[in-house]
């Protein structure tokens, strides 16, 4: 039994309470299986998303961040996700520009009826972060301690 | 240059004597060579201290925020763009300010002058046509102004004031000669690891003095995110992660509003080139949304509006 245990990333998912959170709920109720690496935080709307939240997640050591909201035109607050779309593209480009790997940060639109899509995207996100391995950039850490812990595991 | 200074003082004095404005904001000579300070003239006599040179790197638009009384301001291209931005964001009332527009000659980076004369003391720097005459103990040297210009002034595209009530001198060249698309976002062609190395290297000297924030005319929040303590989004140490968080968020807050005036770089005591970050955002905004900030007082900042056909390729399909 020398097979290596596959790296299990920790992913923070910021899900809009009106759609993607409902999709996650529906996926659960429907007993659809998706990877358990995702920790969900409910937000009122993707328009409420602040780059601070994403950076804070990275700082605290999550390996990936996933933000999901309503399809364009379906926002409960009419246009929150459309404002968010502009901010996301600027932020994603900036983080990639400074050297955060493109696969760490993901954005999707998932409506509350699309449990299947939620399952599929959850798998995609986890797979992408798994390929990249643990995060080392932006993390607020007491360096040697974390490194020692990692080696011990 | 002397004529311009006379003209600035005359106009400022006239405005104060006529009682049109409460205060005139301009520049005065600093206490050491190559540095100028913001100057606030409240009486006609105080206008005698006003000056104008190629070392006026502070962005005076910053000082208009929160002023209730009518105020006059000396403004070159980038400053007028920032004033336009502040009017858009309802921080400044157009009828409350009187803009003395002036063509920017392209400002000089004092660090570059110093690096041309390593280890030598500089007593005085005078401007001649296209040259700087540097005097120190027992020497006098001529330096080409073009060689010591600030990076952002070299790639500037709006040297003439965009909005003004009165023009001082004449309109001049509009561009600095450099191509912004060639120098903006210098790490774009590198891989993630190299980018990260460059990013770390650029900000390794930061001492978190917030001079860049305080010099920036876009930073007027009552409470800055770095001062928030519950929850604390950004630690207060010079730990690498805290420094990085600060600079990423600072740059992001300027997205779609930054006019590339270079006040942050000029104010930095450690010589950090934060434009390497902000220029990337500026380039993105220009290419994705076709927007250059501060050219009109009526338009809205690009991140506070949307279009149905905004780019969406970055999202998981």
**ipTM score of complex:** 0.90
Which run of H or E residues covers position B9? helix B2-17
| A101: in domain | yes
Length of chain B: 317
Looking at the DSSP bridge assignments, the partners of residue B190 are none
pLDDT tens profile B255-305:
999 999 999 999 999 999 999 999 999 999 999 998 889 898 888 889 999
Quick check: A98 and B194 CB within 8 A?
no
Nearest CA in chain B to A80: B306
Report chain B residues whose CB lies below 8 A from the CB of A95: 248
Quick check: B316 and A141 CB within 8 A?
no
Which run of H or E residues covers position B97? strand B97-102
| A3: in domain | no
| A131: in domain | yes
Q: What is the mean pLDDT of residues A22-46?
A: 95
Q: Which of A91, A94, A95, A144 is best to mutate for the B interface (most B CBs within 10 A)? A: A94
pLDDT tens profile A132-145:
988 888 888 755 56
CA separation, residue B287 to residues A57, A99, B126, B127, B210 (Å)? 29, 21, 40, 38, 30
| A2: in domain | no
Which run of H or E residues covers position B180? helix B180-183
Q: What is the mean pLDDT of residues B220-235?
A: 89
The confidence score (pLDDT) of residue B118 equals: 87
Quote the domain boundaries for residue A23.
11-152
Residues A112, A108: Cα–Cα separation, whole Å = 13
Quick check: A86 and B310 CB within 8 A?
yes
- What integer best gives the mean pLDDT of chain A? 90
Question: In which region does residue B260 sit, left (phi positive, over 0), alpha (psi from -120 to 50) or beta (all else)?
Answer: left
Nearest-Å Rg of the Cα atoms of chain A is: 16
How big is the A-B interface in CB pairs under 8 Å? Answer: 109
Contact between B134 and B192 under an 8 Å Cβ cutoff? The reply is no
CATH code for the domain of A54: 3.40.50
Q: Which of residues 154-213 of B touch A (CB under 8 A)?
A: 185, 187-188, 192-199
Token reading at A129: 């972060």
Report chain B residues whose CB lies below 8 A from the CB of A138: 241, 244-245
| A128: in domain | yes
Q: Which residue among A88, A97, A100 sits closest to B280, beta carbon to beta carbon?
A: A97
Q: Which of B226, B241, B250, B254 is best to mutate for the A interface (most A CBs within 10 A)? A: B241
The answer to whether B224 contacts chain A (CB < 8 Å) is no
**Contacts of residue A6, Cβ cutoff 8 Å, sequence gap at least 6:** A130
Token reading at B18: 């006529």
Residues B216, B131: Cα–Cα separation, whole Å = 29
A146/B108: higher pLDDT: B108
Length of chain A: 153
Q: Which residue among A97, A102, A108 sits closest to B315, beta carbon to beta carbon?
A: A108
For residue A138, the distance in angstroms to the closest alpha carbon of chain B comes to 5
Residues B82, B100: Cα–Cα separation, whole Å = 14
Banded model confidence at residue B184, pLDDT cuts 50, 70, 90: confident
pLDDT tens profile A111-138:
999 999 999 999 999 999 999 988 888 8
The confidence score (pLDDT) of residue B235 equals: 85
Report chain B residues whose CB lies below 8 A from the CB of A82: 306, 308, 310
Residues A124, B221: Cα–Cα separation, whole Å = 39
DSSP string covering chain A, please?
--PPPPP---EEEEEETTTHHHHHHHHHHTT----TTEEEEEES-GGG--HHHHHHHHHTT-SEEEEEEPPTT--TTSSHHHHHHHHHHHHHHHHHHTT--GGGEEEEE--TT-HHHHHHHHHHHHHHHHHH-S--SS----HHHHHHHHHH-
Q: What is the mean pLDDT of residues B34-41?
A: 93
Report chain A residues whose CB lies below 8 A from the CB of B199: 98-99
Contact between B104 and B286 under an 8 Å Cβ cutoff? The reply is no
Report chain A residues whose CB lies below 8 A from the CB of B248: 51, 55, 94-95, 98
pLDDT tens profile B83-128:
999 999 999 999 999 999 999 988 999 999 999 888 889 998 988 8
Helix (H, G, I), strand (E, B) or coil at B258: coil
Residue B63, CB-side half-sphere exposure with 13 Å CA sphere: 19
CA separation, residue B175 to residues A64, B100, B218 (Å)? 43, 20, 23
For residue A135, the distance in angstroms to the closest alpha carbon of chain B comes to 13
Give the β-pairing of B71-75 and B124-128.
unpaired
Residues B54, B128: Cα–Cα separation, whole Å = 11
What single-letter DSSP state applies at residue B268? -
> B111: exposed, middle or buried (C-beta count within 10 Å: 0-12, 13-18, 19+)?
middle
| A52: in domain | yes
Domain count within chain A:
1
* Residue A34, preceding peptide bond in cis (omega within 30° of 0): no
Residues B162, B261: Cα–Cα separation, whole Å = 14
Residues B16, A17: Cα–Cα separation, whole Å = 57
Quick check: B241 and A93 CB within 8 A?
no
| A6: in domain | no
The answer to whether A120 contacts chain B (CB < 8 Å) is no
| A40: in domain | yes
The confidence score (pLDDT) of residue A152 equals: 64
The answer to whether B274 contacts chain A (CB < 8 Å) is no
Residue A29, CB-side half-sphere exposure with 13 Å CA sphere: 10
Q: Which residue among A85, A90, A140 sits closest to B242, beta carbon to beta carbon?
A: A140
Contact between B260 and B152 under an 8 Å Cβ cutoff? The reply is yes
Give the β-pairing of A64-69 and A11-16.
parallel
For residue B262, the distance in angstroms to the closest alpha carbon of chain A comes to 19
For residue B168, the distance in angstroms to the closest alpha carbon of chain A comes to 38
Nearest CA in chain B to A69: B315
């Amino acid at each position: 039994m020398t097979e290596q245990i596959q790296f299990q990333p920790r992913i923070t998912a910021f899900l809009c309470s009106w759609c993607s959170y409902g999709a996650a709920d529906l996926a659960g109720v429907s007993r659809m299986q998706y990877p358990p690496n995702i920790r969900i935080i409910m937000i009122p709307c993707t328009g409420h998303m602040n780059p601070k939240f994403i950076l804070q997640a990275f700082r605290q050591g999550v390996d990936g961040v996933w933000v999901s909201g309503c399809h364009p035109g379906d926002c409960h607050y009419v246009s929150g996700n459309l404002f968010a779309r502009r901010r996301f593209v600027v932020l994603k480009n900036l983080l990639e520009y400074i050297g955060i790997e493109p696969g760490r940060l993901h954005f999707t639109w998932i409506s509350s009826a699309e449990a299947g899509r939620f399952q599929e995207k959850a798998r995609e996100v986890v797979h992408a972060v798994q390929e990249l391995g643990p995060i080392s950039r932006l993390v607020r850490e007491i360096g040697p301690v974390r490194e020692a812990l990692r080696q011990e595991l | 240059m002397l004529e311009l200074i006379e003209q600035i003082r005359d106009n400022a004095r006239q405005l104060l004597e006529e009682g049109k404005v409460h205060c005139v904001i301009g520049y005065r000579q600093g206490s050491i060579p190559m540095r100028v300070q913001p100057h606030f003239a409240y009486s006609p006599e105080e206008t005698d201290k006003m000056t104008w040179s190629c070392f006026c790197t502070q962005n005076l638009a910053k000082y208009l925020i929160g002023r209730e009384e009518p105020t006059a301001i000396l403004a070159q291209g980038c400053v007028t763009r920032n004033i336009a931005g502040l009017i858009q964001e309802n921080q400044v009332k157009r009828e409350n300010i009187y803009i003395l527009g002036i063509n920017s000659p392209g400002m000089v980076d004092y660090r570059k002058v110093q690096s041309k004369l390593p280890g030598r003391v500089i007593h005085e720097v005078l401007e001649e046509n296209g040259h700087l005459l540097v005097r120190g103990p027992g020497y006098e040297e001529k330096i080409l102004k073009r060689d010591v210009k600030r990076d952002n002034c070299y790639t500037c595209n709006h040297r003439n004031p965009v909005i003004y009530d009165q023009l001082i001198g004449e309109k001049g060249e509009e561009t600095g000669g450099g191509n912004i698309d060639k120098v903006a976002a210098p790490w774009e062609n590198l891989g993630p690891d190299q980018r990260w190395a460059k990013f770390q290297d650029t900000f390794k000297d930061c001492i978190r003095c917030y001079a860049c924030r305080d010099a920036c005319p876009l930073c007027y929040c009552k409470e800055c995110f770095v001062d928030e303590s519950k929850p604390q989004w950004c630690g207060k140490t010079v730990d690498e992660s805290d420094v990085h968080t600060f600079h990423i968020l600072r740059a992001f807050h300027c997205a779609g509003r930054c006019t590339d005036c270079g006040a942050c770089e000029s104010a930095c005591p450690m010589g950090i080139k934060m434009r390497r970050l902000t220029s990337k955002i500026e380039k993105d905004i220009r290419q994705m949304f076709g927007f250059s900030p501060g050219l009109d007082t009526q338009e809205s900042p690009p991140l506070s509006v949307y279009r149905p056909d905004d780019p969406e390729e970055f999202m998981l399909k």
